[in-house]
Structure 1
Amino acid sequence: MPMQYPGHIVKVGETDAAVVKALKARLNTELGIGNDPALRLDETDANFGAKMRQVVKLFQARNVDPEGRPLKQDGEVGAITWAVLFGQQAVQNLSQAIDPLLAEVIKVAQGEEAKKVREQPRNSNGGPEVDAYLASVGLGSGFSWCCSFTYWCFEQAARQLKRSNPMVRTGGCLKHWNEAPSKGAKLIAAAAALADPGLLRPGMLFIMDHGKGLGHTGLIESVAGGLLTTIEGNTDGSGTREGGGVYRLVRKVSEINKGYIDYSGVR
């Protein structure tokens, strides 16, 4: 059984001796440096110092994440680097929402993604489905619609379960972030989730702040350590905030710069 991610970023100054020693042993093995005195890490030494940081950066330079993207070469071991070192089973993997409403929200969003909803015409912020998303929050065709998409999914799920919809009725991502606590939702700051992706669950909503009042949002479908599979409206394969449809994407937790909204347990 591999050592599980400790729930925080491991870096210079780490005080957990067991974590540091396990990392050193794994780095020596994975990089094949056990017989190289210049690079080999002393597995009996519990200190995470400058040499270990350089070896971590070397590992990051030589490896990619499960999506084939380069690892960030920062010399720190977050959830993604940990998973590449010890295997995906060493980080949290969640694909099901526990809360019944959020499970239904995911199902609704999956249905829209399966339909390959696209703006009609292109780059119009309009079309039959898009107009319905916007109308659910009281907006007409032509507005950015990522937040409206999430509200529409919540509304359909609530109707299916014959219960009230707890989500803030808004098409504004940052307004949603500011007002969600008034509805009983919990907020998780981006920095807290980056240190410990174990805080995240399927059914949560992510919020990105692009400045000048602009933002982007989407629904977490599943969590795999530092990687999130999401379903988002008004995006495309590049992950932009002004794309042309509903897409399933894989994002790094580090991409989310505002935080997460959790409506689990809210009536």
Structure 2
Amino acid sequence: MGAIKVCIVLVCLAAAGSGWGFGRSTLKEETGYERVVRIARKEISVREISENSSPRIREYLSCVGIKEAAPWCASFVSWCHKEAGFAQPRTPWSPSLFPKARVVKEPLPGCVFGIYFNALGRVAHCGVVVKLHGGNVYTVEGNTSVAGSREGDGVYARVRHRRTIYCYADWIGRI
């Protein structure tokens, strides 16, 4: 009987030391980057009901002070950051997501990407970086389409080649 008690005590001590539910969590705390990605992914399948509008899209636009239907890719990015607990960015205009102080060469998942349109002479579409793999950037984007348009009909997961991305900005880890 004494040997059984000793074994039980040893098992309990081993469990306590390993974090088996004795006050220590083995779950990793979610980073700000991971929160932005998780929130963006949850929005995949949001679609417009009419041009640039639906109840959820109005929430994205409202986040940046826009009260009527308008292009909303930057509003979507701003909304994702707000939902993740960040005070910035808050803009409906994609070029303003890329101030020099925020631009990074090597993005992390959760950073913002921008696509430059020569015809407009500026960044004119943006979204959230989800993953980088080889030459590809996996993204979640608002106001796009299956084809990758900058005037789409919803929130989509996309895969873009790195060469098509003009710049990246970090609104989480940079000043």
TM-score relative to the length of structure 2: 0.76
Q: In 1, distance between residues paired with 2:127 and 2:138? A: 10
1:142 is displaced (CA, Å) by 1.6
Decide whether the 8 Å contact of 1:166 with 1:266 is kept in 2.
Answer: no
1:79 matched residue in structure 2: none
Decide whether the 8 Å contact of 2:81 with 2:89 is kept in 1.
Answer: no
Identity between Structure 1 and Structure 2 (%): 32
2:66 corresponds, among 139, 154, 171, to 139
Q: In 2, distance between residues paired with 1:225 and 1:141? A: 40
1:100 matched residue in structure 2: 31
Decide whether the 8 Å contact of 2:71 with 2:151 is kept in 1.
Answer: yes
Aligned residue runs from structure 1 range 114-263, under 5 A:
116-121=45-50, 124-158=51-85, 165-178=86-99, 181=101, 185=102, 187-188=103-104, 199-210=106-117, 211-213=120-122, 215-257=124-166, 259-263=167-171
1:194-252, Cα deviation, whole Å (9 max, x unpaired): xxxxx232111101122255600000111102101100000011111000000000000
* Structure 1 residues without counterparts, runs of 5 or longer: 1-97, 159-164, 194-198
Decide whether the 8 Å contact of 1:117 with 1:246 is kept in 2.
Answer: yes
1:131-187, Cα deviation, whole Å (9 max, x unpaired): 1100000002321000000110111110xxxxxx24221110112213x72xxx3x1
Q: In 2, distance between residues paired with 1:168 and 1:231? A: 17
- Name the structure, 1 or 2, with higher relative contact order (CA <8 Å, separation 6+): 2
Counterpart of 2:47 in structure 1: which amino acid?
R
Q: Secondary structure at the match of 2:60?
A: helix
Decide whether the 8 Å contact of 2:114 with 2:123 is kept in 1.
Answer: no
Q: In 2, distance between residues paired with 1:266 and 1:112? A: 25
Decide whether the 8 Å contact of 1:173 with 1:217 is kept in 2.
Answer: yes
Aligned pair count reads 145
Aligned residue runs from structure 1 range 15-30, under 5 A:
none
Is 1:110 aligned to 2:41, yes or no?
Answer: yes
Answer with 218-227 or 168-177: which moved more: 168-177
Counterpart of 1:262 in structure 2: which amino acid?
D
More helix by share: 1
Q: Secondary structure at the match of 2:64?
A: coil
4+ aligned runs moved over 6 Å, structure 1: none
Decide whether the 8 Å contact of 2:74 with 2:94 is kept in 1.
Answer: yes
Q: In 2, distance between residues paired with 1:218 and 1:208? A: 9
Decide whether the 8 Å contact of 1:206 with 1:219 is kept in 2.
Answer: yes
Q: Secondary structure at the match of 2:137?
A: strand
Q: Secondary structure at the match of 1:240?
A: coil
Counterpart of 1:240 in structure 2: which amino acid?
S
Change (3 A) 1:145 1:99: same
